[in-house]
Structure 1
């Protein structure tokens, strides 16, 4: 594999992360294209899960998956129900997920989490992650 140039952090509940890992894909922001379109083949991709289940209030605060972008462009999946959001045809990217175990946020020291209000940017659903932070997560989660 070529040396990784970029990495990203996606924000996805742990239950949805499990489906993504099983399917070898990622979709973000309810299937919108703009987030997954920023990814390039070979980019590192980490998933942070604020909760165990989507719309749950009980916090999890863990890194739940790691992988590498494995395709060249977003693709549209089959239409799927998004509950009250109706039916959507989500945009996705192929990810080669690595065999890892969860790492709790409190056990990780990342450049990303050092600023006081670091968590505010997670509302976007996708944030740049340094390659150093990705490698630190890979070492901790292996």
Structure 2
């Protein structure tokens, strides 16, 4: 099974919660997007806003991590809200503006409406696009080669 590369769309505030807790939670807690990711896959978070739902516009890539076991599990945040999560090993990186690097990304060049793609909340990208974003976020490509 080959490694896949994903973009998850989450507010910056929620990304920080996930990074600090070493988990991913997508699409308002749905299990299906998480189940598409397997152990060893990679995720880069794109944050359209600083917070949800009324934060300031951001449009930055904000975190990078590798899926640990791939086991999806429910997590009770309150009795009324039990979202699903998957554990992630995050690596050190810097936030990077989508607008500054979009011309380098194949998924941007080949998608007629990238806004619709981001509204999905989770989508697969090529290894090439993943590495381009990671490099722009200050991640050593040599460091990632150990994993990829």
Give the TM-score taking structure 2 as reference length.
0.85
Task: Determine the structure 2 residue equivalent to 1:134.
Answer: 130
| Runs (5+) with no aligned partner, structure 2 | 139-148
Matches within 5 A, 1:46-85: 46-56=44-54, 58-77=56-75, 79-81=76-78
Shift >6 Å, 4+ stretches = none
What's the CA shift string for 1:24-65, capped at 9, x where partnerless? 000111111111011001111000000011112531000000
**Counterparts of residues 102-117 of structure 1 (less than 5 Å):** 102-108=95-101, 109-114=104-109, 115-117=111-113
Contact 1:44 1:131 in 2 (8 A): no
Instruction: Give, in whole Å, the separation in 2 of the partners of 1:23 and 1:66.
Output: 14
Do 2:35 and 2:70's aligned partners in 1 also have CA atoms closer than 8 Å?
no
Could you tell me whether the CA contact under 8 Å between 1:43 and 1:69 is conserved in 2?
yes
Q: In 1, distance between residues paired with 2:55 and 2:20? A: 25
Contact 1:111 1:133 in 2 (8 A): yes
Which residue of 104, 115, 127 corresponds with 1:119?
A: 115
Which ranges in structure 1 are unaligned for 5 or more consecutive residues?
Answer: none
**CA distance in 2 between partners of 1:60 and 1:51 (Å):** 5
1:90-109 matches, cutoff 5 A: 90-108=83-101, 109=104
- Distance between the aligned counterparts of 1:103 and 1:138, measured in 2? 9
The root-mean-square deviation of aligned C-alpha atoms, in Å, is 1.5
Partner of 2:43: 45
Alignment coverage as a number of residue pairs: 134
Q: Which moved more, 1:55-64 or 1:20-29?
A: 55-64
TM-score scaled by length of structure 1: 0.88
Q: Superposition pairs for residues 14-29 of structure 1, below 5 Å?
A: 14-29=12-27
